[in-house]
Amino acid sequence: MDLLVLDSVTKRFASGPEPAIERLTLAAARGEILGLVGPSGCGKTTTLRLIAGFEAPDEGEVLIGGRTVAKAGSREFVPPEARGVGIVFQDYALFPHLTLEDNVAFGLADLPAAGRRVRTREVLELVDLGSFGARYPHELSGGQQQRVALARALAPAPALILLDEPFSNVDAELRAELREQVREVLRATGTTAVFVTHDHEEAFTLADRVGVLNAGRLEQLDTPEVVYHRPATPFVAEFVGDADFLAGTVTEAGIATELGAFPNPDGLRAGTRVRLMIRPDDIGFAPEPGGHALIVRRDFRGPVNVYCLRLPSGQRVHASQPSTAIFEPGTRVRAEAELLHVVTFPAA
């Protein structure tokens, strides 16, 4: 049985004409790490607030552990403190005047003093801060403060943890390390987690499944590999990675495009006009004086160069090359595409 279920949930605010969340349906299994990604204003944080109980749905139902905690049109509403949900806020929300031990123990008031001390030490050890209990938040780095916030959320042993942009205040070089630490802690405790981020790479690294939100609607929910290689919509394709769309026409021999013909795995009818998704690592090219494509721009990204190529029709596509492969804008090239996954969308 799924630990968390949102069933056709809608939330409206008086400040906006459109729903912040519209008919959102998703579920998280016990022990699963679920990531929600999308641009600012897409409804990520509103979804967390609905799960936590800080907001009530205007339509639909929220269930945690098989129990209805909120249902529109009824009196069923469980307050946040009774939902068994831990929350890690974006700004950590640590009490500056309390030591780390006291911060972690804050939510353990129901335990006797001895039990609070034991549990506090356990979770601080879990996040590798066992020797820091007497310190204050201002004496820690951002990454250490984030781990304290995680320890505090884990201390009451909640069934579900919610993380709101958990790594946004951490230096870039520490994010990968902190992501790995958080994942290990969640796995070790078997805790179900839902986290939101605008960074798809962060979601791909940490989550078992990734949901992509756009204007309050869930456009796709699947494993990171499926979301990247087989996006359900053009929005998902562009949000989770660089994507271009080639005009194509289905023929008896396959899908004909400016970069050649490709298989028709979906069995589309001949004559159908489509847009074929293509990513930079799908395209290779080599300099050739009479080449049909022209290099317009080179973007250096460290491990790779990403080239913008203009095709004869004027269509621009992007192609990745090793960082040492440097070609000047204006160079004529012969471009070829080799797709591991053929993904098409209806022509605009």
Model confidence over 8-47: pLDDT tens digits?
A: 999 999 877 889 999 999 999 999 999 999 999 999 999 9
Q: What is the pLDDT of residues 52-78, one digit of tens each?
A: 999 999 999 999 999 999 999 998 999
Is the Cα dihedral 191, 194, 197, 201 positive or negative? positive
* pLDDT band for position 126 (cuts 50, 70, 90): confident
Question: Which DSSP category does 198 fall into?
Answer: S
| CA–CA dist 212, 228 (Å, integer) | 11
Nearest to 83 by CA among 173, 184, 159: 159
What pLDDT does residue 179 have? Answer: 85
- Check whether 174 has a pLDDT greater than 80: no
- Coil, helix or strand for 288? coil
Nearest to 78 by CA among 96, 90, 63: 63
Question: Which DSSP category does 323 fall into?
Answer: T
Q: Are β-strands 316-322 and 304-310 bridged in parallel, bridged antiparallel, or unpaired?
A: antiparallel
Average pLDDT over residues 158-174: 83
What pLDDT does residue 180 have? Answer: 85
How many Cα atoms occupy the beta-carbon half-sphere of 147 within 13 Å?
Answer: 26
Quote the tokens at residue 50. 């609905």
Average pLDDT over residues 287-304: 95
* pLDDT band for position 307 (cuts 50, 70, 90): very high
Q: Are β-strands 217-222 and 33-37 bridged in parallel, bridged antiparallel, or unpaired?
A: unpaired
- 199 and 224 Cβ atoms separated by less than 8 Å: no
**pLDDT-wise least confident of 32-46, 139-153, 165-179, 327-341:** 165-179
Full set of structural domains in the chain with CATH: 2-239 (3.40.50.300), 244-346 (2.40.50.140)
- 88 and 149 Cβ atoms separated by less than 8 Å: yes
- Check whether 128 has a pLDDT greater than 90: no
- Check whether 284 has a pLDDT greater than 90: yes
Say which residue the tokens 């320890």 belong to. 151
What pLDDT does residue 7 have? Answer: 98
- Check whether 91 has a pLDDT greater than 80: no
Q: Residue 102 CA to chain centroid, in angstroms? A: 32
| CA–CA dist 130, 132 (Å, integer) | 6
What pLDDT does residue 94 have? Answer: 87
What pLDDT does residue 316 have? Answer: 96
Question: Which residue did the predictor score with more confidence, 170 or 152?
Answer: 152
**pLDDT-wise least confident of 43-52, 154-163, 312-321:** 154-163
Largest pairwise CA distance in the chain: 81
